[in-house]
């Protein structure tokens, strides 16, 4: 039995290809500078750059997930930091520097 034109689809036509570059969200800042450490002087150093981890729920609640002086990540009030957006190459260099410290 011969198939009709609409039935002669190749199996690859059923596959949806998504361009990963087109579907990426704008990159969130990965670093922040501490501008207030009043409630956490042992955990946060004033004017120091800290790495951030993505936590959408924390951000909705006004917090940031920060890798602090202990080397662990904890939630801190967003208002304690100024977010820093760096060019991709500079961010990569800073990430490598943080990795060496740990």
CA gap 69, 56 in Å, rounded: 22
Q: How many CB atoms lie within 10 A of CB 94?
A: 16
Q: What's the confidence (pLDDT) of residue 32?
A: 95
Evaluated on CA atoms 77, 33, 48, 101, the torsion sign reads: positive
CA gap 53, 51 in Å, rounded: 7
Q: pLDDT tier at 64 (50, 70, 90 boundaries)?
A: very high
CB-facing half-sphere around the CA of 88: CA atoms within 13 A: 2
Give the mean pLDDT of 51-80: 95
Domains of the chain: 27-101 (2.30.30)
Stretch (H or E) spanning 23: helix 20-23
Q: Indicate if the pLDDT at residue 86 is higher than 70.
A: yes
First vs last Cα of the chain: how many Å apart? Answer: 67
DSSP helix/strand/coil, 79:
helix
| Backbone angles phi and psi of 43, in degrees to 5 | -100, -25
Q: pLDDT tier at 96 (50, 70, 90 boundaries)?
A: confident
Question: To the nearest whole percent, how much of the chain has pLDDT over 90?
Answer: 53
pLDDT tens digits, one per residue of 8-48: 555 456 666 665 555 555 556 689 999 999 999 999 999 99
Q: Indicate if the pLDDT at residue 3 is higher than 90.
A: no
pTM of the model as a whole = 0.67
């Amino acid at each position: 039995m011969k198939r009709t034109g609409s039935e002669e689809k190749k199996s690859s036509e059923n596959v949806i290809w998504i361009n990963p570059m087109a579907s990426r969200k704008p990159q969130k800042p990965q670093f922040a500078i501490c501008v207030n450490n009043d409630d956490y002087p042992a955990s946060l150093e004033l004017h120091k750059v800290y790495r951030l981890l993505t936590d959408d729920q924390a951000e909705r609640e006004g917090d940031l997930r920060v890798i602090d002086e202990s080397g662990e990540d904890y939630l801190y009030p967003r208002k304690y930091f100024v977010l820093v957006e760096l060019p991709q190459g500079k961010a990569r260099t800073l990430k490598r520097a943080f990795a060496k410290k740990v």
